[in-house]
Amino acid sequence: MDVLSYQLEDADQFWDELNDISSWECRSNWTISQALRAYLRLAAMYMDQYLVSDEDLTKCIHELILSNVFARNRAYARRILISILTLEDELDIATKTLIGAVLLMDGRRHTSTLEMLEEEEASQKVIDTLWDDRHSSPRLHRLFLELLYEMCRVQKLRLSDLDTIREDFFDFLFMTVEKSGDDSDPYNLAVMKVLLALNEQYMIAELSAQEGQQSIVNKMFKVLKNRADQYRTFGENLVFLFNRGADVVLQLMMMKVFYLIFTTPETYEYIYLNDLKVLLSVIVRELNDLSCEEEKLRHTYLRILHPLLQNTQLKQEEYKRDQLVAVLESLASEDVSVGPLGEQDNTTQRLSRRCLGVPWLDYTTPVSTGVSTPILELTPATTISEPENSAGQNGPGGIAGATAGIITPVSSEPLPKKSTFLGLPKKKPPPRPSPRKLINLSIRNTSAYDVASVHDHHHSHHHNHH
């Protein structure tokens, strides 16, 4: 029956109609396409009446994804939705919102959905939607921010896509963060994550570009560097989230931004001194707590620790000097670890000694003769982020390639029966490190923040150290 031919009386009738459509027996590609379009049409028509809450939208998407129409024809159904999004002009906000929600919810469980978006060259459409509809609907914007973040998290975007993102787009995102001092902004964390993910994409693209003798500008960091004084809240939020203890993927993305901030003269003083102290405390804590299996992660902490100590206002403070020296001395003197093939890895020792060589730590090391020698004389000069292969500061072992947040497995667990928005539980925020404008940055229930943590089982104890 044509869903447009009569008015529905109430919510029960609406859900019954949706259920009828999603139960269609689809024996051909044409009927799959018709069923999907009918479901979208009905849901879009009544979105403002029956899908106002995030819970109801989640239920609507959940029922479609679990239905015969979708579940039995997954690949084709995804392709239909992506083609509607990318090829059909003048799509209304409600239909875009529904398609974005389906692709996001399905993509969090099946990486293949996110990969298909890239294969079908849909990332440009996702970015265009974020720009064109930036003032249309906070819910649409939040969903597409989350979708773009998930796409970035599992694969590299094309150089051409990164190249076509306008600097205005980053100004808009930074300004959104800046203005979100109250809870009326529903997508603060989603904006933060997209800024972090795109920065990582640019850093990885720079590696590829160098190898191919091309060049690409990291527009995210360029905008931040040129307007650092205007966009201070981003830095505050970054430290807040870092201290909170994110999943490893997000933590690595944040460290890549910190690395750029602390190795770029224009941004040496971008992070406030109190926040630098919080950051240093987190790094010391993590260096102490990480297990042997997390050696690569420890290397990344050490790679940002060196410029943090060397280039920022911390050098005037001598903050936590004794504690720092103790943990670095311990790491520098540990036995050399042996890799799976029997190869020796002295990276931890080398990076720790480099940090100990920062002048204000005033560290001297005892040598076998009994004479103390300043460590600066013992440690050869290295680049800030010298990779193991010495191929330059952003080589595979450097900060850009270090345990990259790219290619993270996505859980294939079944959808939860009871959910908030898009299947995510609400999470109570821990105490804040210091009072600040950021008091309202709660981790929203639309965030991939919680979802990603189930993929990174090896770091589950991080959450205990807020």
Cα dihedral sign, 276-183-231-144: positive
* DSSP helix, strand, coil percent of the chain (3-state; round to 5): 60, 0, 35
Q: What phi and psi, each to the nearest 5 degrees, are found at residue 455?
A: -85, -20
Q: Is residue 147 part of a domain?
A: yes
Give the C-alpha distances (Å, rounded to integers) separating 427 from 131, 246, 259, 353, 444: 29, 12, 29, 39, 8
- Within 8 A by CB and 6+ apart from 433, the residues are 239, 240, 243, 278
Residue 336: its pLDDT value, please?
59
Average pLDDT of the residues in 93-122: 95
Q: Is residue 400 part of a domain?
A: no
Q: What does the pLDDT look like over 337-375, one tens digit per residue? A: 655 555 556 889 999 999 999 999 988 875 544 444 444
CA–CA distance, 300 with 293 (Å, rounded to integer)? 14
The closest alpha carbon to 39, from 12, 70, 11, belongs to 70
- What's the start-to-end Cα distance of the chain, in Å? 55
Q: Is residue 180 part of a domain?
A: no
Q: Is residue 73 part of a domain?
A: yes
Q: What does the pLDDT look like over 178-206, one tens digit per residue? A: 987 643 455 788 999 999 999 999 999 99
The closest alpha carbon to 218, from 259, 250, 252, belongs to 259
State yes or no: pLDDT of 132 exceeds 70.
Answer: yes
Angle at 451 between CA 251 and CA 425, to 5 degrees: 120
| Tokens 């973040």, residue located | 149
Which residue range forms the structural domain that includes residue 58? 1-155
- The packing angle between helices 188-211 and 232-244, to 10°, is 100
- Within 184-338, residue ranges assigned H as helices are 188-211, 219-226, 232-244, 248-263, 273-289, 295-311, 314-317, 321-332
Cβ-contact 458, 294 below 8 angstroms:
yes
Q: Which of 137-141, 290-294, 335-339, 458-462 has the highest mean pLDDT?
A: 137-141
Cβ-contact 218, 167 below 8 angstroms:
no
Please give the structure tokens belonging to residue 358.
Answer: 């920062």
- Within 8 A by CB and 6+ apart from 241, the residues are 189, 192, 250, 254
- Within 8 A by CB and 6+ apart from 143, the residues are 97, 100, 101, 104, 446
Q: What phi and psi, each to the nearest 5 degrees, are found at residue 91?
A: -70, 140
Q: Is residue 118 part of a domain?
A: yes
**Structure-model confidence comparison of residues 316 and 453, the more confident one:** 316
Q: Is residue 381 part of a domain?
A: no
Residue 402: its pLDDT value, please?
52
State yes or no: pLDDT of 385 exceeds 80.
Answer: no
Q: Is residue 133 part of a domain?
A: yes
CB atoms < 10 A from the CB of 49, how many? 11
Determine the residue type at 62.
H
* Of 142-156, 252-266, 425-439, minimum mean pLDDT range: 425-439
Q: Is residue 382 part of a domain?
A: no
Determine the residue type at 74.
R
* Of 13-17, 74-78, 330-334, minimum mean pLDDT range: 330-334
Cβ-contact 259, 307 below 8 angstroms:
yes
CATH assignment of the domain containing 103: 1.25.10
Q: How many domains does the chain have?
A: 1
CA–CA distance, 84 with 78 (Å, rounded to integer)? 10
pLDDT confidence bin for 335, thresholds 50/70/90? low
| Tokens 């060049």, residue located | 215
